[in-house]
Structure 1
Amino acid sequence: MDKTYRDAVSICKTIMRNGFEAYVINARLQRELIAETGEAELDIATDMDPEGLDKIFPELTLSENSRFLGKLSEGGVLYRFYPLEAEDSAYPEEYVARLTPRLLKRLGDKGELPPNIACPYTPGIKDRYAGFVDIEQGLVKFSGNADLTLKQDYLRGIRALRFSANYNLPIEHNTWIAIVRGARRILDYVSIADIMDEWRRVEAENMYEFVRLLFDCQILHGLLPEIAALSRVTQLLNREADQEESVFEHTLKLMRHYPEQNPFDWKGTIACLFHDVGKLYTAEYFAGNWHFHQHHQVGAQVTRKILHRLRFTPEDTDLICHLVRHHMRFSSMLTDKGIRRFRALPEHLRLIEMERANVKARKGNYTDFNHNLKMMERTELPEEMLEPLLNGNEIMEFTNLNPGPAVGLIRDALLNAQVSGDVSSVPEAVEFVLGYKENSTKE
């Protein structure tokens, strides 16, 4: 081992004794270059910050370039320090920096650049846009060789889908096929926490497109197989149309329409993603149709399991599962008592918007929905004002009237008197109906 390399190893050990990583980058290549050129230069990778290096090596000259920490001249040798910051989601071999700009230049001068060096991993500072060409070009595209760029950091596959969904940009063909080819390794090497960090940056109104892209590139099949499987479950588009659609396509439509009223409701949109997941487990074919009894209840249980897997907080999990559990409550025509029970539910406004989006997605009619909205207005009144203090039989008993329209008129008049505050007790109600009958007789 020559002295230049031994001194470099000593520097690395000094850094490591201080609790950091350090190694000579591509030692074999650098020793060959020193032997050929006689230039005493060595490149070192370390995860120690510049300030820490400056304290250990006072003669260090710090760099203003984020891809280069600084340089040190010692014993006639020039040492360059590069940041050791391989992504956790990189292919395992990519954790080892093999080339630096200086080494690339030397190889280029010798005409010995390897054929796969179009996009090598060189040490650098983390940047969310690293590995992408400028999106101002109007598309999402990996820089250099798409497969190698993805291999350096598989999280870029998820990030490309996010850029495409949020910015409404197409994904360049070679970039797309690299993501499809690498889908399994994206799932192998990218943590759930990192995937969800990217997902949370997707705008609610664009989430349906992000989920569609996850499905199309086969990532959704590994990440959320319960949702991907809904593409194989069919249902009628609506009660009137003799037309089927997959539950997955219906889910995407619901996710597209929900943010039209709640544009920033990310959690509500996530609830739309899971609202019909229970249909996978409750589907039963009978009498020529598919039936999904209690799919909302089963779906809430399945959703809880999935959200735990995706590392959602307990609070967010409870909220989303609540929305899944009760998303059917506003879909049928409700009575006074039914609408009051519905309004007592937490997050009932979100549930209303989920049903509005559901009607749009299924191209259904708004009869039941509009009825329930009108009934919601009545909930502003105290419940005792929605029913008269005396029913029809009691009115006939006190007034000696026979069944007929007159009894209905008195009942309506009594209810109006209660709403206006003129009648507030049973004795007052008896007095009112007797007086109403007497006045009607005089007329």
Structure 2
Amino acid sequence: MPQPLKDAIALCKTIRRNGYDAYVISAALQERLLENEEHGEVDIATDMQPSELRKLFPLLDSSDENADLGSLQEGDMLMRFYPMDTLASSHPEVAASRLTPRLMKKLEDRGELPTALACPYIPEVPDAYAGFCDFSDGVVNLIGVPDATLRRNYLLGVRALRFAANYDLPMEPNTWVAILRSASRILDYVPVSDIVDEWKKVEAENMAQFFELLYETQILHGLIPELAALSKIKQRKSEDEPELETAWQHTLDKMRLYPETLPYDWLGTTACLFHDVGKLYTAEYTDGEWTFHQHPWVGAKITRKILKRLRFPTEDLEVICHLVRHHKRFDSMLTDRGIRRFKALDEYPRIIEMARADVKARGGNYTAFNHNMKYLERADVPEEMLEPLLNGKEIMDFTGLNPGPAVGIIRQALLQAQVAGDVTSIPEAVEFIRTYYEKEIRN
């Protein structure tokens, strides 16, 4: 920390010890401005009046156009005093002093003063990066005083989260808390279509991080409260483990894992975002366990309502709702008939990858998944090629055999004959098993 800033903090402590309040205005900004300064100047806010300040600091100069309460020169350091806002009726966002004329001039000289802040009526060419410091510092940082910059365009709050997610950068702490403070303002003043436009610019691989940031800044709670509420829904991580997790954490895990096998799939990742939203409406606690019966179907209805509220295009809405409705279809061990019905679904490859991501997120029990993937390979084989034309009882009736291994041998031989095309009807099947029995079993 620069020495002038340390001295200013010590001076503020002196004022506090005398029963008043004082703080360094925009300390983070002033620390940055002092990095390459030969002579330190620091701006301080206090609730002391000039007469009281002069008693404490006899060398205090009178107020001028740059310092409302006065200034104090100590060696190479110049302290400027500004009045605090102590009115009970003032707006919370403007109660704390954020900028002074000197700081505004410094920002202007450095090219960091937003044009809208200096002269709000001059039109500007739209620039997605306007209002942000260069990312070469390795953080997402609003220029100047973050609260003041954000106040001029609340959409910058959502855009900052988008940059942090897409570029995998941390948020500068003062920028972060400014967004947190402004969550309600963002929801009040930013059109929902603009928020969704920022969301659509988030890569599928980074969407989980983006929504985690929306949740932590409380923006999600107003934008999609149905999702934020999932943080209060507890469920078992897997059927074999007693460990509990929130439905929201599972949602984020699934969103991170889905793009590993289907990269760049924005719609599929969005479906993962909504896949468990129905659990909020179907949760039931019975015999010490939570159940969520029919949550895919209920979730699809809720998703439709949410996406209409967010003004999603109809074609995207239909795909996402379809995936939410059927996301559990690949979870149980399916029969050949079940696999055929599954493969008839639109978007079934995406549903498979949603199921794969779910298995990974829950700890990796692939028994049912691998079974279904194996059966999926048989789905292109005609159904008559998967089961013999005669079952075991019929084989015993036509051959006179008793139950035993021989029945299975004949059944497998019949199936192979069907696959080869040698047997195509039930009469041919009866003739085949009788002949096979006489040649291969009886003798």
Change (3 A) 1:190 1:117: closer
How far has the Cα of 1:119 moved from its partner?
A: 4.8
Change (3 A) 1:117 1:193: closer
* 1:355 maps to 2:368: no
Amino acid at match of 2:353: E
* 1:302 maps to 2:302: yes
Amino acid at match of 1:426: I
Contact 2:140 2:160 in 1 (8 A): yes
Contact 2:275 2:324 in 1 (8 A): yes
Which of 120, 130, 133 aligns to 2:118? It is 120
Alignment of 1:45-60 (within 5 A): none
Q: Which residue of structure 2 aligns with residue 76 of structure 1?
A: none
Q: Which residue of structure 1 aligns with residue 246 of structure 2?
A: 246
* Identity over aligned pairs, percent: 62
Mapped to 2, the partners of 1:318 and 1:118 lie a distance apart of 41
Contact 2:204 2:266 in 1 (8 A): yes
Amino acid at match of 1:360: K
* 1:201 maps to 2:201: yes
Q: Which residue of structure 2 aligns with residue 174 of structure 1?
A: 174
Contact 2:116 2:152 in 1 (8 A): no
Task: Render the CA deviation track for 1:198-232: whole Å, top value 9, x for unaligned.
Answer: 10000000000000000000000000000000000
How far has the Cα of 1:364 moved from its partner?
A: 3.6
Q: Which residue of structure 2 aligns with residue 11 of structure 1?
A: none
Mapped to 1, the partners of 2:350 and 2:220 lie a distance apart of 26
Change (3 A) 1:121 1:197: farther
5+ long unaligned stretches in structure 2: 1-103
TM-score (norm 2): 0.73
Task: Render the CA deviation track for 1:36-63: whole Å, top value 9, x for unaligned.
Answer: xxxxxxxxxxxxxxxxxxxxxxxxxxxx
Secondary structure of the structure 2 residue equivalent to 1:434? helix
Q: Which residue of structure 2 aligns with residue 428 of structure 1?
A: 428
How far has the Cα of 1:392 moved from its partner?
A: 1.5
Q: Which residue of structure 2 aligns with residue 328 of structure 1?
A: 328
Contact 2:150 2:156 in 1 (8 A): yes
Q: Which residue of structure 2 aligns with residue 34 of structure 1?
A: none
Task: Render the CA deviation track for 1:369-393: whole Å, top value 9, x for unaligned.
Answer: 1001001011120011111111112
Mapped to 2, the partners of 1:421 and 1:209 lie a distance apart of 55
How far has the Cα of 1:120 moved from its partner?
A: 3.4
Aligned length: 333
Q: Which residue of structure 2 aligns with residue 144 of structure 1?
A: 144
Q: Which residue of structure 2 aligns with residue 280 of structure 1?
A: 280
Amino acid at match of 1:120: A
Amino acid at match of 1:420: A
Mapped to 2, the partners of 1:394 and 1:117 lie a distance apart of 88
Task: Render the CA deviation track for 1:14-36: whole Å, top value 9, x for unaligned.
Answer: xxxxxxxxxxxxxxxxxxxxxxx
Task: Render the CA deviation track for 1:307-347: whole Å, top value 9, x for unaligned.
Answer: 00111111111111111001011001111111111111111
5+ long unaligned stretches in structure 1: 1-103, 110-115
- What value does the CA root-mean-square deviation take over the aligned residues? 2.0
Is the deviation greater in 238-247 or in 122-131?
122-131
How far has the Cα of 1:411 moved from its partner?
A: 0.7
How far has the Cα of 1:295 moved from its partner?
A: 0.7
Change (3 A) 1:441 1:266: closer
Alignment of 1:14-413 (within 5 A): 119-122=117-120, 123=122, 124-413=124-413
Task: Render the CA deviation track for 1:133-158: whole Å, top value 9, x for unaligned.
Answer: 11122110000110111111111001
Is the deviation greater in 395-404 or in 298-307?
395-404
Mapped to 2, the partners of 1:394 and 1:425 lie a distance apart of 14
Mapped to 2, the partners of 1:211 and 1:201 lie a distance apart of 13
Q: Which residue of structure 2 aligns with residue 440 of structure 1?
A: 440
Mapped to 2, the partners of 1:121 and 1:233 lie a distance apart of 48
Mapped to 1, the partners of 2:441 and 2:354 lie a distance apart of 53
Secondary structure of the structure 2 residue equivalent to 1:244? strand
Q: Which residue of structure 2 aligns with residue 62 of structure 1?
A: none
Secondary structure of the structure 1 residue equivalent to 2:393? helix
Contact 2:279 2:292 in 1 (8 A): yes
Mapped to 2, the partners of 1:439 and 1:386 lie a distance apart of 25
How far has the Cα of 1:403 moved from its partner?
A: 2.0
Mapped to 2, the partners of 1:240 and 1:396 lie a distance apart of 42
TM-score (norm 1): 0.73
How far has the Cα of 1:285 moved from its partner?
A: 0.7
Contact 1:267 1:316 in 2 (8 A): yes
